Every structure is written in structure tokens, then in C-alpha cells.
Amino acid sequence: MLCKPLEKALNEQIKNELYSSYLYLAMSSWFSANDLKGMAQWMLIQAKEEDLHAMKFFDYVLEHGNRVDLKALDQPPSEFKSPLDIFEQAYRHEQKVTKNIRDLVSLAREHNDHATESFLAWYSLEQVEEEASADDVVQQLKLVGDKGNGLLMLDRLLGQRVFVPPAAEGAA
């Protein structure tokens, strides 16, 4: 069984992961409305990943005999200035998620919960990828700008992203 502080913190992280999905859906909607279907697809894939992350936390809490206590989600923004604005916000959001994961690792260490620390190791590595992925698009958008052929080419490239669930742990 998880100690109460970890149970509470992991429940909060479930909410955070679900909010991340909600945020990326809002961003996808903006891209779709602005005829940037590739970027909309990229954000949809990001939302699916966040849903998967939330469910991994959900299952982990339940597997330990604790209770999942779902909290209300804040409404994400629906208006954005530009593709660059959206990806900069996504990058900052991923930095915030990274901090949340680090705080969870520290809490697990504080309570000598080695299983939870081990569970969180995957998320720590995942956040390196998440931040790098968003920052790569930010840097590309800074090069091509928010209009013209470069933006359309980047949109087409980002639209090639597909959802690939991670392999089951321990699978050969």
C-alpha cells in the first residue's frame, strides 16, 4: 500500500496528465480550425500519449490497494496567437510536467518507496523526450516563421507522426 502523501501526490499527477491531454486537444482543435492538419495530428498524438500516462498512474495506484480520487480539470486555453505560440506553450507545459515528476521522485525517496521510485524512472526518461520533441518544433518554427511554404512543409512533416504505444514492460 502507498503511504497517504504518495497516494495524494499520485492522484494529483493523474489529474495533471489528464489536463495535459485536454490541453493538447485544445491545441489540436486550434490547428484544425486554422487548416494546419499536420500540427493538429501531432497534438492529437500528444493527447493520446498523455491519456496513456494518466492510465499508467491510475493502474499503479489501484495495484497498490489505494484509491484513485479523480479531480476536476481546469479548462485549457482555446485561443492562441500562432503555431509558434502553441508549441512554446507546449514546451513550457512539458517543463512543468518534468518538475512534477521530479517532485514525485523526491517524495518517493523521502518515504523510502523504492517501487514507486522505480515506476517513476520511466516518466523521468519520457520527459527528456517530451521536452526535446516540443523544443525541436519550436526551433523549426522560429526558422520557418508562421506563414508560407516553410510552415506548410513543417505541417506536412508533423502530420506524419503516429501513435505507437510503448511495448509492455517485461515483453521480449
Q: Per-domain residue ranges for the chain?
A: 4-158
State the pTM of this model.
Answer: 0.92
* pLDDT tens digits, one per residue of 140-156: 999 998 888 999 999 99
* pLDDT tens digits, one per residue of 10-20: 999 999 999 99
Give, rounded to a whole angstrom, the gap between the first and last alpha carbons of the chain.
29
What fold, for 4-158? Ferritin (1.20.1260)
* pLDDT tens digits, one per residue of 67-119: 999 999 999 999 999 999 999 999 999 999 999 999 999 999 999 999 999 99
Cα(55)–Cα(101) distance, integer angstroms? 15
Mind spelling out the 3-state secondary structure of 129-154? Answer: HHHHHHHHHHHHHHHHCCCCHHHHHH
- pLDDT attached to residue 169: 52
Amino acid symbol at 64: H
- pLDDT attached to residue 171: 41
